[in-house]
Structures are given as C-alpha cells and as structure tokens.
Amino acid sequence: MAVAIWDHRPSADALLAARVEAGWRPTPTATRGGDVVLGHAACLLSKGR
C-alpha cells in the first residue's frame, strides 16, 4: 500500500529534492561511454549536488 505525502501534484524537481533530502543518491548506469546518471536525476550533476 502506498501513502501519499503531498496535498498537491509535486513537480519532478520537488520529488527529486525530497528523495535527496531523505538520503537517496542516484546510481550511475554502466554504458559504453562510461557510467552515467540517467533520467531526471541527471540534473543533480549539472547543479553540482
């Protein structure tokens, strides 16, 4: 069962920020070009987090 903690539809940035504040860190994916963070979490790298 899932429990919602939002009283509104959060943005992708808000969801990512909540995850990071809770201790989550993105896991790089091994690609032919090297390890990269995929998806919206990749913006963490461009923001220097």
pLDDT for residue 48 is more than 60: no
Q: Give the span between the Cα atoms of 15 and 9, in whole angstroms.
A: 10
How far is CA 8 from its chain centroid?
19
pLDDT value of position 47: 63
* Cβ contact 13:20 at 8 Å: no
Look at strands 29-31 and 34-36 and give their pairing: antiparallel
* Cβ contact 16:41 at 8 Å: yes
pLDDT-derived band of residue 2, with 50, 70 and 90 as boundaries?
A: low
pLDDT value of position 32: 96
pLDDT for residue 40 is more than 60: yes
